[in-house]
Each structure stands twice: as C-alpha cells, then as structure tokens.
C-alpha cells in the first residue's frame, strides 16, 4: 500500500472519531423517544421476527447493553447505532474509493455523516435503520467490488450475505435486489448466465427465511400491517401527502446533500457514467427506491426516513461529481453540509432540554399536544414520581406486589421503559393486535406473572384519552389518583395522569 493512500484514511478515521463523540453526547443526554422505547421492548425477548420488523435491532441492543445489563442507561442502548454509523461510514469510503479514488471516498464519508437520516435517525436513535445501514453500505461496497471482479465467487457470496442481513434488519433492504435486478435486465443481461448471481440470491433468501417462517405461523401478520401502509389500490390521489413526502425527503437527507445529488444527476452525461458502471447500478437502486416512495406518497401518508437508504445510495454519485469539479480544492459544500448537521444536532439537544414550555397546547388536559420534542423530555423524572406512588400503594397493601401497568397501543413501551423498568413492573397490553403490535406476543410471556385484579394506567397529556371508555371491556372501575406535572424552562411542558383500575372482568389478549 502506498503511503500517499494514508492521508484520506486518517481523515476518515478522524471523522468517525469526532462524529462518534458528538453522537455519544446526544445518546447519553437525551431520553429515549417513542419508537426507540418500542424497539427496546423487542430486546426483552429475542425472536426470529417481530410484528413490525425483522429481529436485527433487538440483537443490536442486546449486544450494546451487554445482554441488557446496561439497559437502564439510554446511551448504551443507542451505542449500537453510533457504532453502526461508524462502520457504515467506513464502508461508504471503501465503496467510493473503489469506484473512483480515495478523495472521492473521503467526500462520500463526509456527505454520509452530514445526512440527518444516516447521522441521526440511523446513527444515534435506536431504529432498525441502524443495523440496516451497515449491511446496506456494505452491499454498495460489494457492488463496486463485483463490477471490478464480476466472476469472483467471493464477492457475489458476500453480497448475498450482506443483502440478506440487510433485509433481516429492515425489509427495505429488498430494494437493493430490486434495483440490481432492474439494472441487470436493462443493461447487463450477460449476468443472467452467471451462476454466481443465482447463488447470491439464494443465500439472501436462506438468510431471510426466519421472516417467512414466522409470518407463516402467525398468518402473515407483518404483511397485513405493512400492506395497509403501502397498498394504493382503490385509494384516491392526494397532493398533500406527495408534497409532504417530497419535503420530508429534502429535509431528512440534508438539503445540501439532496441538492448535490440532483446537480450530479443532471450534470453527469451518460458517456461519462459509462466509466463508472457501479455508479449506474447504485443510481438504479436509489432512484427506483425514492421513486416508488413518491408514487406511494401520492396516495397514502408515508414517513420521510423511508427514503434515507435511497439517498445514501445516491451519495457516491454526488461525491464523485464533487471530486471531479473541485479537483484539489476543499469543497465548500461538504463543510456546509457537515456544519448544518452539527448545528441541527446541538439545536435539538438544547430545544428538548431547555425550551420554555412547549410548542403545542399551552395548558389544560392536553397540555403539550403537538410538541414532538416532549417525546424525549421529562419521562425519567415522571417515572421516578410514579415509582414512589407505586411503592406507597404496595406498602399500604392497596395493590398486589405484581400489579401491572396497562396500555392500549404499542407506544406503551415508552411508559414501560421510563416508568416500569426501574422497579421491574410488568406492562400488559389490552386491545387489538393492530394497536398493540408486539405487546400481543409479550402478553404471552407475562400473563402468568401479574395480578390483573387491579392495574395502573398512565396517560401522557399530549396523548390524552378517556381511560374509562378505553378499558370498559376489561375493568369495572377507574379511579384518578394524581397527575404528575412537568415544567420546562419554568413553564408547563406536559403532564402524566395516573389512574388505578379495579374489578377485572376481561381476558388478556394473546397469540399462541
């Protein structure tokens, strides 16, 4: 290896270290949000598949918390995501270095870390996207390797393993094979006679069999849930959803990055792209993924972070274009993109912890409604207050030692993590599977360890609902105990209403 290769490797390693430290500050200081708590719930019981997603995120959490030994510390739950981002950065560097040169690889690493999706959603938060990005970027690197060595069994088999594990992280990983297949059918039909392609596909399918086997056992529950989110048959066109998705794609992938991608797409001539075969394949994958989401969003509401992998796949094109255009100059665009990322990250921390009051409803029963920042503020403090209430009720023998807390939606996991985990209180879900999600299965594990004659219920003010009406099928009586009020910056932020239900008359919803 030439010594001239090392400067950019050192730059990438320094970037990984600096960005990793910044992300760890966020990871250890900001409380878990709704989705994160739900994926923490996965880790409590390892399975072949879960109602919403494949199992990789649960395994990731188990590893980073040392088999749940450190699960009380949010930073260790998120540590797996921070490490995943670091590994994905290295794969992005290796991919683009192989396609073009190490300077372009360095620029790609910078753009990757500047993406709000790659650097925050998948780089800090506890999401299935975190392990997915390791295997997604690893697959991009292997595509570049396959183009260089298309008759190599090693790279084709590794590609099958990587894409299979990507799908086992999040089913969106299938878009890699969809894009790859579309490219082969359109421009590389000679690969259809290459047995390595079919072996690679077979490896991916075998790795993903647990998802299929689990869904066969449970009547394709995952498919039923996700089919309802993406099926556009018989649904009317909605311009608002399309505009929302378009704006979401622009923001979550960092506007600077998206603009660079668009400029590169319209500036690169087909003749110039011919020398970068791997880029053409990546463009197929990325554009097809983003395009399908835009079509779906024309009819149904989508989530902006679904587009993240698509734009990650297009970043190599932007990096190669930027390398060609700036030559030996320091590109202002990468510095601007990274600076915007760091600014937004610290702004989020300050907003969550110090903004006076809330952005939503200022007072009343639904105080805080509409303020998403409250998902990560005050829960730990409120949880300590509830633990004191729970202890008093036990000491006075007003409730049994194994009295549970109940919820009616999957985001009850947020309450479970902050209110129940410290005292090892069990959370039981009461309601329909499409609302409870994984709690329908968790009930199986917990039903024999709780006394359902009485139960506590905790309702955040920004998610307020009528407890009596909600649980009338299960309990005869509901008593309001207290409300836990939280201030932020000296002004009311949100509250938690605590209820005690008695007169159990129902059955715990379970799936065998």
Same domain, 339 and 220: yes
| pLDDT in single tens digits along all 512 residues of the chain | 344 456 999 999 999 999 999 999 999 999 999 999 999 999 999 999 999 999 999 999 999 999 999 999 999 999 999 999 999 999 999 999 999 999 999 999 999 999 999 999 999 999 999 999 999 999 999 999 999 999 999 999 999 999 999 999 999 999 999 999 999 999 999 999 999 999 999 999 999 999 999 999 988 887 776 666 555 555 566 788 888 888 989 999 999 999 999 999 988 766 566 678 899 999 999 999 999 998 888 877 788 898 999 999 999 999 999 999 998 788 899 999 999 999 999 999 999 999 999 999 999 999 999 999 999 999 999 999 999 999 999 999 999 999 999 999 999 999 999 999 999 999 999 999 999 999 999 999 999 999 999 999 999 999 999 999 999 999 999 999 999 999 999 999 999 999 999 999 988 998 87
Same domain, 382 and 289: no
Range of the domain at 391: 372-504
Same domain, 410 and 446: yes
- 198 Cβ neighbours under 8 A, 6+ residues apart: none
Same domain, 337 and 284: yes
Q: Using DSSP, how many helices (H) and how many strands (E) does the chain show?
A: 23, 5
**Could you tell me the CA-to-CA distances from 201 to 48, 95, 105, 187 in Å, in that order?**
20, 21, 28, 19
Boundary-marking domain end, from 307, 322, 351: 351
- Please indicate, yes or no, if residue 381 is contained in any of the structural domains: yes
Same domain, 393 and 322: no
Q: What is the DSSP string of 337-360?
A: HHHHHHHHHHHHHHHHHHSSS-SS
424: phi then psi, degrees, rounded to nearest 5: 55, 40
- Please indicate, yes or no, if residue 384 is contained in any of the structural domains: yes
- Please indicate, yes or no, if residue 481 is contained in any of the structural domains: yes
Question: How far, rounded to the nearest angstrom, does the alpha carbon of residue 411 sit from its chain's CA centroid?
Answer: 15
Same domain, 299 and 386: no
Assess contact for 474 and 504: CB atoms under 8 A: yes
The number of folded domains in the chain is 2
Residue-wise burial string across 437-467, b where 16 or more C-beta atoms lie within 10 A, e elsewhere: bbbbbbbeebbeebebebbbbbbbbbbbeeb
Same domain, 148 and 209: yes
Which two three-digit tokens encode residue 405? 């807390």
Element (H, E) at 478: strand 475-488
**Could you tell me the CA-to-CA distances from 331 to 325, 328, 398, 458, 464 in Å, in that order?**
9, 9, 67, 51, 49
Same domain, 324 and 458: no
- Please indicate, yes or no, if residue 175 is contained in any of the structural domains: yes
Q: What is the pLDDT of residue 299?
A: 79
- Please indicate, yes or no, if residue 280 is contained in any of the structural domains: yes
429 by DSSP, 3-state: which?
strand
Quote the CA–CA distance of 124 and 413 in Å, as a whole number.
19
Q: What is the pLDDT of residue 113?
A: 97
37 by DSSP, 3-state: which?
helix
Which two three-digit tokens encode residue 447? 């039903």
Angle formed by the axes of helices 308-326 and 277-297, nearest 10°: 140
- Please indicate, yes or no, if residue 366 is contained in any of the structural domains: no
136 by DSSP, 3-state: which?
helix
Q: What beta strand segments (E) does 314-436 contain?
A: 405-407, 427-429
40 by DSSP, 3-state: which?
helix
- Please indicate, yes or no, if residue 365 is contained in any of the structural domains: no
Same domain, 285 and 432: no
- Number of neighbours of residue 94 by Cβ within 10 angstroms: 23
Boundary-marking domain end, from 303, 318, 351: 351
Quote the CA–CA distance of 394 and 170 in Å, as a whole number.
42
- Please indicate, yes or no, if residue 115 is contained in any of the structural domains: yes
The secondary structure of residue 417, as a DSSP letter, is I
Same domain, 322 and 401: no
Same domain, 300 and 397: no
Assess contact for 83 and 21: CB atoms under 8 A: no
Q: What is the pLDDT of residue 350?
A: 94
pTM check: above 0.85? yes
- 247 Cβ neighbours under 8 A, 6+ residues apart: none
Which two three-digit tokens encode residue 132? 């997915």
Quote the CA–CA distance of 243 and 251 in Å, as a whole number.
12
Q: What is the pLDDT of residue 149?
A: 94
Same domain, 33 and 139: yes
Boundary-marking domain end, from 316, 351, 386: 351
Quote the CA–CA distance of 187 and 385 in Å, as a whole number.
63
Rg of the chain over Cα atoms, rounded to whole angstroms, equals: 24
């Amino acid at each position: 290896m030439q010594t001239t290769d090392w400067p950019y490797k050192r730059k990438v390693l320094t970037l990984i270290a600096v960005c990793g430290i910044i992300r760890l500050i966020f990871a250890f200081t900001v409380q878990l949000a709704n989705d994160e708590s739900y994926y923490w719930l996965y880790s409590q019981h390892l399975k072949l598949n879960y109602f919403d997603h494949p199992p990789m995120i649960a395994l990731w959490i188990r590893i980073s918390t040392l088999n749940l030994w450190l699960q009380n510390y949010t930073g260790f739950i998120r540590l797996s995501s921070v490490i995943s981002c670091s590994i994905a950065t290295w794969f992005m560097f290796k991919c683009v270095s192989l396609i073009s040169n190490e300077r372009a690889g360095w620029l790609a690493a910078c753009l990757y870390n500047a993406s709000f999706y790659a650097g925050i959603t998948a780089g800090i938060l506890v999401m299935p996207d975190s392990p997915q990005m390791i295997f997604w970027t690893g697959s991009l690197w292997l595509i570049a390797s396959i183009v260089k060595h298309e008759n190599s069994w090693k790279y084709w088999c590794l590609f099958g393993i990587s894409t299979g594990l990507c799908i086992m992280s999040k089913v969106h990983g299938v878009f890699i094979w969809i894009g790859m297949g579309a490219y082969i059918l359109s421009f590389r039909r000679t690969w259809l006679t290459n047995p390595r392609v079919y072996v690679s596909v077979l490896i991916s399918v075998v790795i993903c069999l647990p998802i299929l086997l689990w869904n066969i056992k449970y009547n394709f529950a995952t498919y039923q849930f996700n089919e309802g989110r993406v099926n556009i048959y018989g649904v009317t066109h909605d311009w608002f959803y399309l505009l929302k998705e378009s704006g979401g794609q622009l923001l979550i992938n960092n506007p600077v990055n998206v603009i660079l991608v668009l400029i590169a797409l319209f500036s690169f001539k087909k003749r110039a792209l011919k020398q970068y075969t791997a880029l053409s394949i990546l463009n197929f994958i990325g554009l097809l993924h983003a395009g399908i989401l835009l079509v779906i969003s024309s009819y149904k509401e989508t989530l902006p972070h679904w587009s993240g992998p698509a734009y990650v796949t297009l970043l190599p094109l932007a990096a190669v274009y930027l390398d060609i255009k700036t030559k030996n100059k320091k590109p202002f665009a990468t510095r601007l993109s990274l600076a915007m990322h760091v600014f937004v990250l610290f702004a989020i921390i300050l907003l969550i912890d110090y903004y006076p009051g809330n952005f939503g409803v200022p007072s009343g029963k639904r105080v805080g409604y509409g303020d998403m920042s409250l998902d990560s503020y005050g829960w730990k403090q409120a949880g300590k207050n509830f633990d004191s209430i729970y202890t008093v009720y036990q000491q006075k023998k007003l409730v049994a030692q194994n009295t549970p807390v109940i919820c009616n939606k999957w985001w009850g996991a947020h309450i479970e993590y902050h209110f129940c985990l410290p005292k090892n209180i069990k959370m039981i879900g009461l309601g329909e599977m499409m609302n409870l999600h994984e709690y329908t299965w968790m009930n199986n594990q917990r039903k024999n360890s709780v006394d359902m004659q009485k139960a506590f219920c905790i309702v955040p003010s920004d998610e307020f609902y009528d407890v009596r009406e909600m649980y009338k099928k299960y309990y005869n009586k509901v008593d309001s105990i207290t409300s836990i009020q939280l201030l932020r910056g000296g002004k009311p932020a949100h509250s938690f209403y605590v209820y005690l239900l008695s007169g159990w008359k129902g059955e715990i919803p379970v799936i065998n």
